[in-house]
Every structure is written in C-alpha cells, then in structure tokens.
Structure 1
Amino acid sequence: MKGGGLPAAALTDETFGQKPSMKVTREPVALPRATQLLNHGPVTIITSAHNGRSNVMAASWAMPLDFNPPKVVVVVDSRTLTRQLIEASGVFGLQLPSRKFAAQTLAVGTNAGLAIDKFSAFELETFAAEKIEVPMLAGCITWMECKVIPDDSQRHDLIIGEVVAAYADSRVYSNNRWHFGDDPDLRTCHYVAGGTFFATGEAFDVSPAANALSASPASR
C-alpha cells in the first residue's frame, strides 16, 4: 500500500525477545542540519497522537525538502490511522530505526493501527517529545519532531512537515556527522520488500576535482 507501511512478511513469536535500552545519550541536532539525518534515504518510523489515541508506522518514502527552516516530506496513505491522527493534531514524530530495531520496524509497518495498539503489542518503549504531544520511540537512533505545513500537495498523500526539534544517539551521530563505527546493530536500514532490509554501508570520501570552481547552489 502506498505510504501505508511496509509489505507484509512473516514474524515469529521470538521476534521481540529484546527490548531497546533506555541508556542512550540523545544529543541535540542543530535545526539547519536536521535534514542531514535523512540524506542517505533510510527507512523511517512515524509516530502520531491525538485526543488520547496514538499510533506508529514504518514509512520508506521520506525525504528532506528544505534547510532553513528544515522541512521534510513523508508519504502517508489517506486511509491509515496515522494519517488521521496527523491531520487532527498537526504534528508527528519522525525517527530512524537501527538494524537492531528492524523486527519492530517490520511489525509496525505490516500491521494496522486501527486493529491493534502497536505500542503495546510490540512492547515499544517511548519517551515524551520536547515540543510536540507525540510519543517518541526509545529504540531508534535519531528523532525529529515535526509540525505539519498545510499544502495542496496533500491530495497526493504527501505530508510536509517543519522540523521543530531534532536529536540523535551520540554513538552514531554527533558534531553534524554520522559515525556508525564497528557495531552493525547501530546502522540505519533501507527496506526493499518481503522482510528484506539493507544496512547502511561504509562511508568514503571523494575529493573535489582539481579544476572545480566554487559555485553557489543557485548557479549549479
């Protein structure tokens, strides 16, 4: 389903054997740099809440839109509970799960919030957001709090949000840089289909060409 989560795959009774640790240092990310968290195209998890009801879903279609103020775009099917809650509240949480959280990511992406309480069913730990009334997932590694910007593009199931707060697990992101290190469980994920993910690979640098001229973004 477009923007409605992830294609279904089998989950076993042992899928949720470990809960995420709450012992994580969450460091603020400067808002003009917040969209950098999404530049490499990982799968995301959206949290939403309104009037005592909350929901969580995975979303592969999410991307940066602008730097300052930082804006993001997510695709959320109009038939989902997540869409209903976001439209009612005007806010949502956008977070990046790690490989360690892949089973939970698949679960919240393949089950409908109208049928079950996914936070309870999949034993998801949460913490309070800083600037919006939405639960944030403790098991993720970056978090963005977003306020909806009304726009006609919503007729295409797009939601545009301004990032009003952002923070990251200091083990993988600090000083405006990703640094995944040697722990494969802390890498972000990219979803394909049928329960198949790719983990983010190794970083490498490319030096500018010797004859390259400095240019402003507008002149490129």
Structure 2
Amino acid sequence: MMTTASRAGMIESRTQPLTPIPTIRPFMKGIRQAVELSRATQLMNHGPVTIITSAHGERSNIMAASWAMPLDFSPPKVVVVIDSRTLTRQLVEASGVFGLQLPSRVLARQTLAVGTKPGMELDKFSAFQLETFRGQQIDVPMLEGCVAWMECKVIPDDSQRHDLIIGEVVAAYADSRVYSNNRWHFGDDPDVRTCHYVAGGTFFATGEAFEVDPVPVGSGF
C-alpha cells in the first residue's frame, strides 16, 4: 500500500499499475446519524485507517490515508498528511474542503485499491464502482459503506509545507449500527468494524472493547 514515492501517512501511489480490481459491494447500508460536532473527533480516537475524498471543478478523487488524527475539540479539528504531488492535494488546496471517512472491514479491498492506484491517471470512483453521496456542508462526494464520515474545511497554516493539512470538521455522522450516544459499539458482524492498516495489504480489524478503572496513586500495578 505504501511505496517509496509516497509519504508514510498518505497511501496513494503515483506509480502502481492501473488494472482495476473486482469490487465487492457493502452487504448492508446503515442509517447515517448526526454526531455532535463537539464529539466528532472521538470518531478517530482509536486510530483507524481513513479515506479522503476531494473534488474541484470537473475533477474528483479518493485516496486512503494512514496518518490522520484528531487535533482539537472546539471547534473540532483534524490533521491529515497528503503528499503535495498528488491529485488529492491539488483538489483539496483548490477547493478548500475534503471528506474524511472511516471505511469498514467490508471495504478493505477498496481501501487498498484507492491507496495504491494513482488518481492523476485513473478515475477511481468509476474504476472501482464506488457508490457515493453528496456531502451536507461541502461539495465533495462521500463514500457509501463507511461507518463514519466527517466533512472538513481547510484551515490555512504553515504546516502545509510539511504536507500536514488541518481541517475544521463542519459536519459529522456515523452508522447507527455501530456508533450512538457518542460511543462505538461494534457487535458480532466483523464486516462493519473499522480497520487498521499495517503494510503489504495487511489490515487488523478493530477488536473487542473493555473498560478499566485507573490505578490508584501509589499502588503500582
């Protein structure tokens, strides 16, 4: 998924073959439920792989990104790494907006595909038969089959020279089957769990949740 030509936090390649892979459609679509903006960054606290969508004029693109994280609560902000030489970066800088979504396990092959095929030469939405819907606050296609979505407006910052893009979250929503009351609650269906990318096409699915109380002061283990 990563190539030597790509930044480590951005897994879109500019050098891979263009042969499309077969597409597997999501089994079911959940209900998109609004997430309070003050809680939007909690969607990313467990560090899953993300997908960035972008559009400007007649062009649109989609890429996978491993380096994406929450940055602030109020207003909610996220930071993503997008290589300056990619189509995604061009579109994001031109439009000032981008979509950030968390793909489910059922979209792992598509996530790998959009992260390793070059957007400059390939319409990845068409090549991989990806279903989209229009954002609520931004004019960017959002990817169906994910379990969480954030619509972001770029905040200009000097960090862009390091390929860091800061975005303010202006809309957020999640699949009610796995997220409600500001909490993830993955059930028995493995296909609607979020993914964590390692390398070479290897992913981990988000595992079981558990809760603990903090160790009392002075008690050690």
- TM-score for both structures, normalised by structure 2: 0.90
Rounded to whole Å, the distance in 2 between the matches of 1:57 and 1:91 is 15
Rounded to whole Å, the distance in 2 between the matches of 1:6 and 1:152 is 23
Provide Cα deviations, 1:161-218, integer angstroms capped at 9, x if missing partner: 0000000000110110000010111110010111000111110001134559xxxxxx
Contact 1:143 1:166 survives alignment (8 Å): yes
Q: How does 1:56-95 map to 2 (within 5 A)?
A: 56-95=62-101
Deviation (angstroms), 1:20? 2.5
SS in 2 for 1:86: helix
Rounded to whole Å, the distance in 1 between the matches of 2:99 and 2:134 is 11
Runs of 5+ consecutive residues of structure 1 not aligned to the other structure: 213-220
* Code of the aligned partner of 1:41: G
Deviation (angstroms), 1:100? 0.5
Deviation (angstroms), 1:97? 0.3
Return closer, same or farther for 1:156/1:79 CA change in 2, 3 Å cut-off.
same
Return closer, same or farther for 1:175/1:9 CA change in 2, 3 Å cut-off.
farther
Return closer, same or farther for 1:23/1:196 CA change in 2, 3 Å cut-off.
closer
* Code of the aligned partner of 2:114: V
For the pair 1:144 / 2:183, whether they are aligned, the reply is no
For the pair 1:97 / 2:103, whether they are aligned, the reply is yes
Contact 2:16 2:117 survives alignment (8 Å): no
SS in 2 for 1:64: strand
* Code of the aligned partner of 2:148: T
Provide Cα deviations, 1:17-75, integer angstroms capped at 9, x if missing partner: x3235742000000010000111110000000001210000000000000010000000
* Code of the aligned partner of 2:179: Y
Deviation (angstroms), 1:15? 3.7
Percent identity of paired positions between Structure 1 and Structure 2: 75
Q: How many residues align?
A: 211
For the pair 1:124 / 2:130, whether they are aligned, the reply is yes
Return closer, same or farther for 1:194/1:11 CA change in 2, 3 Å cut-off.
farther
RMSD: 2.1
Contact 2:133 2:142 survives alignment (8 Å): yes
Rounded to whole Å, the distance in 2 between the matches of 1:110 and 1:136 is 19
Q: How does 1:1-220 map to 2 (within 5 A)?
A: 1-2=6-7, 3-5=9-11, 15-16=22-23, 18-20=24-26, 23-210=29-216
SS in 2 for 1:49: strand
